[in-house]
Structure 1
């Protein structure tokens, strides 16, 4: 029996299923189709009537009809589902409170040491499989545990809506096949940027846990196994996230052309040159002139100026006008 979650006992579910197949029936008629006696069936039918799953009509003996299942059962199931979701959220909050308090008492809960390339690969897969919102990633040259193109967990996460922001250092693209692998990831939804050099390897999932190699090892380092740290919610994790954001702000966006080539892999300015009009607009913007005054000087509407500024921000991969000014100077647009 499967309707216990809707509040029905085994005998009530059996009688209700029989009643659904009949236009109307007496307790004796239902009893003949079940393993219950007439008296037991009468009691079950009365219980169903009290629960709103059946109704009786006049006459002797009484005849019963089933309440439509979508009317009788679905609202109860929805209420139970809502209650279960609320309970799940409450349990999640309790778990986080427990972990937070445990971390304060036990430093071992904050940082876990991972030794060996295989253990590092497993942890990197796990944090990606458990991610629900965002992955932040520093990709240095010469892999330690996960060669370029082997991170299938990223594509699974992207498919379920997890956002990936990945920073590559310039030397990363010297490895054979790395450009094609990055192009595939960008096409799948990865947001990628490049910088001349990165300070360390890093993966941060949902800003709650990070994997950060501590001792070089593997193909790109010494012959010893790599050692990494699994860092959970703490000031150290906050600092790692801030470090990522700092590098992200100054990085050059990577774009995939129609032919599948990746532009920007040298970590330097390589965007398309701007028109004289856009260069003039940028110079006015950087000078601190208000949009309305820029519009007046260029003979445009204020809305057109704002639209062109937004286009330039998209072209530069900038989230703010300050970032646009920085990127414009870096790219030689002014």
Structure 2
């Protein structure tokens, strides 16, 4: 959209699109096409004229013609690109100033407080969009925000995104199996833990947000914002420790290393079983019958030549079926 890329308002974008579709037009004629009042179109045309996107007809100054898009819009695009380059230079300068000030930051400046649930949600969103290298996330009920676990555009830029889910997130319905599959398809790495000690959101190992939880695990109105320092290092070490112990999540047989010819459903059942879900909970997540889950688990036990589910988990770990992520694969 022109309004998104070149800084035009939706009304200006619609008016310009209408104008380039005709040889010339008066404000009244354009008003019918774009659904605005004639007086508003007059103001819009004045703005477009000032930006080089429209001009008055030589024979009749009450009529307007569109400037050629290839020339007029390219000039605006170059202007926006130059503005972005200047913004990047300014950002680099500000970042250097911030880091210099951080070296002298006292104890009181290491941890800040974000007040209000909406403020926490917005700060998490801003930090996520600004990530350059890696995002690490502990997801624990109650979830900060609904919807996708992550922003696909962030991963598309090459940012590594690691998320750990507390098992209750699945069993209590806060996040579904399908949502995790979509996140994995976008490139996210997901693991499931029995419990997590806290909520945590770390960006580029430079900042962390720790939402506050009350005695009953109900979200309080705020979060801690932790800057670089010993506390942030400890939080990162905690994440890495929990990450190493958690169960990797797979949603297809192709994602399992060294595994025999098993079906996607087998891989999904095994992944959820190792995460601690009961057969009934697995059946609900995969929208299949309890009987099917039990039968497929028995099939997996026969393949690995074991007699118990505990032995099955041990054998899967020993055979390295869930080692794909450690080899750098992002297969889901």
TM-score normalised to the size of structure 2? 0.50
Which protein shows a greater Rg?
A: 1
TM-score normalised to the size of structure 1? 0.50
